[in-house]
């Protein structure tokens, strides 16, 4: 039956969504029941397994062209579910320790993930909007989970107001595109595209909406405050899974909705990418709070990702996909260690100075943090380097040599702030006796897995990058339908 076939193409999203509803029901009858986290992990694992199988399955469209499945969509689902799963694994202990382990947190994570999966599979502007809003509304709630603290309320309110504002831009852009082309389907819009003012204005507003969501530079103001006020492991979720989802949809928009020749879209992306890389990295240099430092680093990484988009070649798009996986692995790891350190001291020890001496007191955690930070800085041998290499190589092959030079220089500057925590961990004496508690196996185990993946994909990137570039070869050109 056609209906069932359509449902089967969106199976990961359905599993996660239904699990979210069940979590809500359980939470009604047994407040903050411990089994909720087990159910969450089980459903995410099942969905992850299915989307990994979809990687090698057929591609196509379902629900009357509303969503696409297989290929890029399947890879997007895999990255999102992978990120979500590991964030939940490290969240449990952390939220218990700071006494905010509500059942609602998991329901919100599952619903947000459903939205992200819809966003990554979207093939229609309505679906993009629906996915983005489902994701954002749940994230606004997650940002304000620590409502007793002013930073939590500030984060939630700031995120909500600016997010709603940016959604307005996005929606206005969609309305103009509909006015210009008479369709909401991405292929049909690309076919009817022209360089008239209505279409270009619509495309521009759509880009502004996405720049907000991925925190690219003139629209990045919310990022540090929101990341600071949100519980650390949920910050990891926000900065990886939601960014991956938004970027997959961004690739869809740039590669298929906005044909070359209607306007110089690549130029727009180049300017924003340069501003994002420079500003993100420079402001990160002077941060003392490690969460704010990672927030600015996340802005800088959005800049590197935009370099791949600006290249506007199949190589660039597959480089962005690789980078998203790399960023998800290493960033969750870094936030995980920060969360480990923070949760034993209340919420106040986020200053980088307090990392003094950690290297000798908790050698394993310190080594893992060092590996994640090396990878974020782009030191060869780790996954972050490979991601950056692909992105900058794509820019050079697309004759954007200036852009690649700015990117490499910005990345070189970033090494300073990534190395600072390591200097404190290994080269300074601990200034007071800080009691350190052991962490549980789930927390430690997931960080170890992330470390192994950071090194594995850094050493052996070839298989995955072949898979990713195969998505954009052959019939991909036929799909874009440039008139």
Partner 1 sequence: MLENYLPIVILAVIALVLAILLMTLSRVLGPFRPNKNKLSPYESGMDPVGEADERYSISFYLVAMAFIVFDIEVVFLYPWTVQYLDAGVGTLVSMIIFILELFVGLVYLIKKGMLDWDIDQFKL
Total of chain residues touching partner 1, rule CB under 8 A? 13
Cα distance between residue 456 and residue 463, in whole Å: 11
- Tell me how far, at minimum, the Cβ of 3 lies from partner 1, in Å: 5
Distance, CA of 470 to CA of 476 (rounded, Å) = 9
- Residue 124: phi, psi to the nearest 5? -150, 145
Binding partner 1 (rule: CB under 8 A), the pick from 53, 161, 175, 197 is 197
- Whole-number Cα distances in Å, 88 to 108, 206, 239, 322, 421: 12, 31, 14, 23, 25
Planar angle of CA 111, 115, 121, nearest 5 degrees: 145
According to CB under 8 A, which one of 149, 150, 164, 196 is a site residue for partner 1?
196
Q: Of the ranges 87-95, 191-199, 219-227, 301-309, which one interacts with partner 1 (CB under 8 A)? A: 191-199
Smallest separation (angstroms) from partner 1 to the CB of 156: 15
Per the CB < 8 A criterion, the answer to whether 284 and 368 are in contact is no
Per the listing, tokens 């307005």 go with 168
Q: Which is nearer to partner 1, 104 or 154 (CB)?
A: 104
Site stretch for partner 1 (CB under 8 A), options 88-96, 194-202, 424-432, 474-482:
194-202
Binding piece for partner 1, criterion CB under 8 A, among 85-93, 156-164, 193-201, 281-289: 193-201
The smaller minimum CB distance to partner 1, of residues 63 and 456, is found at 63
Q: How many angstroms separate the CA atoms of 163 and 181, rounded?
A: 27
Q: Which of 287, 312, 175, 305 is nearest to 247 (CA)?
A: 305
- The C-alpha atoms of residue 12 and residue 351 are separated, in whole angstroms, by 39
Annotate each residue in 396-415 with x if it binds partner 1 (CB under 8 A) or - if it does not, as one string: --------------------
- Decide whether 171 or 198 has the Cβ nearer to partner 1: 198
Q: Can you give the three-state secondary structure of 120-136, one letter per residue?
A: HHECEHHHHHHHHHHHH
The answer to whether 99 contacts partner 1 (rule: CB under 8 A) is: no
Of 21 and 42, the one with the shorter C-beta distance to partner 1 is 21
Q: Are 228 and 295 in contact (CB under 8 A)?
A: yes
Residues 147-186 that bind partner 1 (CB under 8 A): 179-180
Q: Reduce the DSSP state of residue 68 to 3 states and report it.
A: strand
Binding mask 4-43 for partner 1 (x = CB under 8 A): -----------------x--xx-xxx-x------------
List interacting residues with partner 1 (CB under 8 A). 3, 21, 24-25, 27-29, 31, 179-180, 196-198
């Amino acid at each position: 039956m056609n209906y069932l076939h359509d449902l089967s193409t969106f199976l990961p999203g359905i599993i996660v969504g239904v699990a979210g509803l069940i979590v809500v029901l359980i939470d009604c009858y047994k407040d903050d029941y411990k089994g909720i986290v087990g159910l969450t992990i089980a459903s995410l694992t099942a969905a992850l397994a299915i989307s990994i199988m979809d990687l090698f399955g057929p591609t196509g469209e379902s629900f009357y062209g509303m969503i696409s499945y297989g290929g890029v969509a399947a890879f997007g689902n895999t990255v999102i579910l992978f990120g979500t799963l590991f964030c939940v694994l490290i969240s449990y202990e952390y939220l218990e320790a700071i006494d905010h382990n509500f059942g609602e947190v998991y329901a919100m994570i599952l619903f947000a993930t459903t939205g992200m999966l819809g966003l990554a599979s979207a093939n229609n502007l309505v679906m993009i909007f629906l996915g983005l809003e489902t994701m954002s509304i749940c994230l606004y709630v997650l940002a304000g989970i620590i409502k007793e603290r002013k930073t939590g309320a500030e984060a939630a309110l700031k995120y909500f107001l600016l997010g709603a504002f940016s959604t307005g831009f996005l929606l206005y852009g969609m309305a103009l595109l509909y006015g210009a082309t008479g369709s909401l389907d991405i292929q049909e819009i690309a076919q009817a595209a022209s360089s008239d003012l209505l279409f270009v204005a619509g495309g521009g507003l759509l880009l502004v909406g996405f720049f907000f969501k991925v925190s690219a530079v003139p629209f990045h103001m919310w990022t540090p405050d929101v990341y600071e006020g949100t519980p650390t492991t949920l910050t990891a979720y926000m900065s990886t899974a939601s960014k991956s989802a938004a970027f997959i949809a961004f690739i869809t928009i740039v590669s298929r909705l906005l044909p070359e020749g209607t306007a110089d879209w690549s130029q727009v992306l180049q300017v924003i990418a340069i501003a994002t890389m420079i500003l993100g990295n420079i402001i990160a240099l002077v941060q003392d709070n490690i969460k704010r430092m990672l927030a600015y680093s996340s802005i800088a990484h959005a800049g590197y990702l935009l370099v791949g988009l600006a290249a506007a070649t199949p190589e660039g798009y597959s480089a962005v996909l690789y980078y998203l996986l790399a960023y998800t692995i290493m960033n969750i790891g870094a936030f995980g260690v920060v969360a480990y350190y923070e949760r034993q001291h209340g919420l106040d020890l986020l200053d980088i100075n307090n990392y003094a001496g950690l290297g000798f007191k908790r050698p394993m955690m310190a080594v893992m943090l060092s590996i994640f930070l090396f990878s974020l800085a782009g030191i060869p041998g780790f996954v972050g380097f490979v991601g950056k290499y692909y992105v900058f190589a794509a820019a050079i092959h697309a004759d954007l040599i200036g852009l690649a030079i700015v990117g490499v220089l910005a990345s070189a500057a970033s090494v300073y702030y990534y190395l600072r925590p390591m200097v404190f961990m290994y080269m300074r004496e601990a200034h007071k006796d800080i009691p350190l508690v052991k962490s549980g196996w789930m927390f430690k185990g997931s960080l170890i897995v992330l470390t192994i993946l950071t090194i594995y994909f850094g050493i052996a990137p070839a298989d995955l990058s072949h898979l990713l570039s195969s998505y954009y070869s052959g019939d991909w050109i036929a799909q874009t339908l440039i008139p």
